[in-house]
Amino acid sequence: MARDAIVIGSGPAGAVTAWELARQGWSVTVLERGRNLRPGFGEKPSGELGTLYGSDEIKGARHFGFPDPLLNPNTSRTQADAADGVARTASGNVGQLGAAVGGTSLHYNAKFPRFWKQDFHMLSELGPVNDAQVADWPFSYDDLAPYYDEIEYQVGVQGDIEQMPVATLAQAPRSRQFVMPPGPTGYAARLLAEGAHRVGYTAYPYPAAVNSQPFDGRPACVACGLCSGFGCPINARGDALVSFLNPAALTGRVRVIERAFVYRIETRADGRHATAVRYKDTAGRDHSLSASKIFVAGSPVNTARLLLLSANTAHPHGLGNGSDQLGRNMMFHNFTLGAALFERDIHPLRAQSTTLEIDDLVGPFKGAEIRALGLPYLKGGIIQVGSGAPLLTEANLLAGFTGYGLIHKQLMKLGPVHRLVAGSQLVGEDLPQADNRVDLDPDVKDLHGLPAARITYSPHLHERVAAIVLGARIEAFSLLAPGAIAAAIIPYPIISTAVPATAHLAGTARMGTDPAASVCDGSGRLHEVDNVYVADASTFPTFPGFNPTLTIMANALRIARGVAGGTA
Amino acid sequence: MPHEQGPESGSVNAPARLTRRALLQRGGLLAFAAFSPLGCGDSAQPNITVPIGGDARFLDADELAALRALVNRFIPGPPEDSAPGAAEAGCAEAIDALLGAFAVDPPRIYAGGPYSDRGGAATNDFEHFIPLDDYEALAWRLRIEGSQGRPEREFNGPVRGLQTIYREGLAALDAQASTYGSDRFADLPTVTAELLLRTTRDAAVQALIDVAFPQTIELMYGAPEYGGNRDLVAWQYTGFDGDVQPRGYTDEQVEHPENPGLSEWLPRLPVAIPLEQLIALTPLASYEGAQTILQNSNGSLSRLTTGIAQVLAARRTTHGP
């Protein structure tokens, strides 16, 4: 067998896959729908790369590094809309992640917690939940732990094992100290941490793929605060590109083709073996590539769309969809937002975004009040502590509040969102549901005339209850922050049953041992096609409430090593 | 080192630092102005210097005058407020430069990176706009010019471009001005212009406001290289540090920032803004928190308003009216 592969998507999953395959001598072609934004990519060491990014909010507002909502729209609707026969209620960047060489990790928040042991055995340990497809993962935390460790050391993760809660280390044991110590704790985060301490919670330095000291030829972070949603101007963040894809490209065995819009994987007539990957360039010209192995890593919405677009006679409902699970179990983290308001300027933006983490609301919670609502248990997630929002974001939010005129300008002078607030976010777990799914929109197209992905989604009762029950606790500790004059929460799953805007996506091609109930096996391989693997978060059977990039990378490394090492 | 020497500093970018007393005095003046719109006189036509963007122009002189008067209502300057407004800050010319972005090469869509010269870098990379690739050029031509009946732009049907929205909206503004005895919106007194905008039912004007206020905000509160926020006026009156790379902040500044006392802000909160509602919105203060509303709005004021209204309604649900 030729040791060559095509990897579709160059984000965290695709980059790690390419890196591992190249490390083992494979020849790899990576197809990426976005463009390269790091001058010198593939030619210079990662520490010497340039960047087209800057601390520039307008670029973000203009979709820089993202798909354009006019050219690559996703559409969405709620489960209730679908039941009423409504085709869609929104079209645009809903459910979209970044589009650039290196994927969304170019402008991510770089928070790197591990999932917990209990997350891999949710069905067998906690049991089923009505109207949800809770499932075990086909492997355990202990199986993934060595990959976590390897990724953390390759990317460069800051943190301090000595400050982590006992419960966290029991659920996510670590074999050694972090690569580097934590950076400075933001003042806003520290105020909230004191409030949290007053209710018995523990805030500790948030593991982050951000340099607190020079690492891998790249400098230490200087806490500019324009982090999440921005590319790092000084190259202080570890990510898919600098930590994996660029080193892989420098081996000479990895080729990255930008603006390659993959729309079809072709198979032999019997459907058991993929023969080619077809893509279009921006102008619509067709291209075809072949390799012995194909890795799909487009992120959950795009991975599902591609496999659905690849339907053929042998796979009438989408490639590898004999289980009818392809596209289903679409999961989004449901953020419940909290904030404390202060009378003084607390500079929430002077920090590497949220510098502290609280794990006290991860759960599971099993009290009588939860069972009374018809739920056997409740799982929340980690809390990211100490955020603010930059000026243009604030101006837009306040515009929706006041409309135009002098009153808007006056509020901007107060700066409630960029200087008077300390924000926190519960990264809420989302249960998998069969009816939360990606399919092909019957009408809306992309620039090439191909069907857009349509997302049908509504939060489960579990998420709604979690937002209320756990949100109240965030409000309580926020109010106890020293000097806070008020606190509030926004429990999104209560406010809206629509798709939340979040960069945390999972599901649509779940892995499992039963071909009748899952799309991929534990190796990431489609049950029904012998050389197509899914390497991204599409494979996650459940979606515990932790920032997912570390687990996406660790799982991709596990999958790629399995293939390259001949065990899959 | 530290670009902050003392507790009185407002913005690291402020060429002349404002004292706290000046800040408070200005705030007091503001509050007065907000409650006394009738005392503010005619709309001032600010001096216009050569617009940034060179030949990137789309509007004619009359249209640009109407747009200047419009952005002056969105973010008013003197005499209604002591700080410069959107017209003085160049937002109208900056919008015109966006409408005419493809008249220059590279189009002025994405400023360069990684640094301006405000955070310690010797040169300003933001001034060198990034050449668009074919995908970005198609997207922005579609957004600015509209689909113009071209098949390659109409895969989801016709798209009305910003140029059309502005041209028709500004013409409609002038047409409406005749109701108030003027041929030009730009010539209306402040209060009359305000009355027209707040009461008009004209679809073209409403469509204009829906995109023009968010775009004015973008150019006013974003980096000045895009043409608005001239002389960093908006970053000064908001006390925003702006882009600070590559210098960033020291550990000391992160962990122990001086806390300028803004404790007088509560009494200065405009009476039109219930504190309870403002509190309800504060949790949106993060990239993640704001994204649902910003993404759904996609540059539309009415959709921003819908998103915020949803949050406020939820607050009433969980905390009572």
Share of chain A above pLDDT 90, in %: 94
Q: Using omega within 30 degrees of 0 as the cis cutoff, is the peptide bond preceding B79 cis?
A: yes
Gap between the Cα atoms of A521 and B303, Å rounded:
43
pLDDT at B15: 33
Look at residues A410, A235, A33 and name the one whose alpha carbon lies nearest to residue B27.
A410
Per-residue pLDDT, B26: 34
Average pLDDT value over all residues in chain A? 96
**What pLDDT is recorded for position B16?**
34
| Minimum Cα–Cα distance from B212: chain A residue | A404
- Whether pLDDT at B107 is above 90: yes
Q: Is the dihedral of CA B84, B85, B89, B90 positive or negative?
A: negative
At residue A407 the predicted structure's pLDDT band, cuts being 50, 70 and 90, is very high
Contact B135 A350 (CB under 8 A): no
Q: Which residues pair with A215 in a beta bridge?
A: A218
Chain A residues close to B253, C-beta within 8 Å: 223, 347, 350
> Which residue is it, tokens 């904030």?
A339
Helices B61-74 and B162-177 sit at what angle, rounded to 10 degrees?
Answer: 80
B155 to chain A: nearest residue by CA?
Answer: A449
pLDDT of residue B261: 61
Report whether pLDDT(B314) > 90. Answer: no
Chain A: give the shortest CA distance to residue B67, in Å.
15
Q: Would you state the pLDDT for residue A497?
A: 83
User: How big is the CA angle at A105 (ends B117 and A100), to the nearest 5 degrees?
Assistant: 80
Task: Give the mean model confidence (pLDDT) for residues A456-470.
Answer: 95
Say what the pLDDT of residue B56 is. 80
Residue B25 binned pLDDT confidence (cut-offs 50, 70, 90)? very low
Task: Please tell me whether the overall predicted TM-score, pTM, comes out greater than 0.95 for this model.
Answer: no
For A446-509, give the DSSP string.
-TTSPEEEEEE----HHHHHHHHHHHHHHHHHHHTSTTEEEEEEEEHHHH-SS----S-EE-SS
Token pair belonging to A87: 């085709």
- Cβ–Cβ under 8 Å, residues A462 and A129: yes
Query: What is the average per-residue pLDDT within A212-223?
Result: 98
pLDDT at B13 > cutoff 50:
no
CA distance linking residue B107 with residue B144, whole number of Å: 12
Residue A171, pLDDT above cutoff 80: yes
Query: Average pLDDT for residues A417-424, to the nearest whole number?
Result: 92
Q: Which two tokens stand for residue A511?
A: 């892995």
- Under the banding of pLDDT at 50, 70 and 90, the label for residue B279 is very high
Query: In which order are the strands placed within the sheet that holds A254-257?
Result: A254-257, A27-31, A4-8, A293-296, A532-534
B290 touches chain A (CB under 8 A): yes
> B211-232: per-residue pLDDT in tens?
999 999 999 999 999 999 999 9
Question: Which of B153, B110, B161, B147 is CA-nearest to residue B132?
Answer: B110
- Chain A / chain B CB contacts < 8 angstroms: 382
DSSP A241: I
Q: Flag if B296 and A92 touch (Cβ within 8 Å).
A: yes
The band of B8, judged by pLDDT with boundaries at 50, 70 and 90, is: very low
Per the CB < 8 A criterion, the answer to whether B66 and B96 are in contact is: no
Look at the block and give the residue holding tokens 């004059």.
A485
Residue B239 forms contact with A (CB below 8 Å): yes
Yes or no, beta carbons of B288 and A94 under 8 Å apart: no
Local structure of A233: helix, strand or coil: coil
Which pLDDT tens digit goes with each residue over A340-395? 999 888 999 999 999 999 999 999 999 898 999 899 999 999 999 999 999 999 99
Cα(A489)–Cα(B289) distance, rounded to whole angstroms? 11
Of chain B, the end-to-end C-alpha distance in Å amounts to 49
- The mean pLDDT value for B70-78 works out to 98
Q: Answer whether residue B12 shows pLDDT above 60.
A: no
Task: Identify the pLDDT of residue A358.
Answer: 98
What's residue B291's pLDDT?
Answer: 85
pLDDT reported for residue B274: 84
Work out the pLDDT band at B18, boundaries 50, 70, 90: very low
Name which of A109, A100, A105, A15 is nearest A64 in CA terms: A100
Give the residues across from A439 on adjacent strands.
Answer: A454
The pLDDT assigned to B24 comes to 35
**Whether the predicted interface score ipTM is above 0.90:** yes
Which pLDDT belongs to residue B29?
33
Whole-number pLDDT of residue B7? 31
Q: What are phi and psi of B30, to 5 degrees?
A: -60, -50
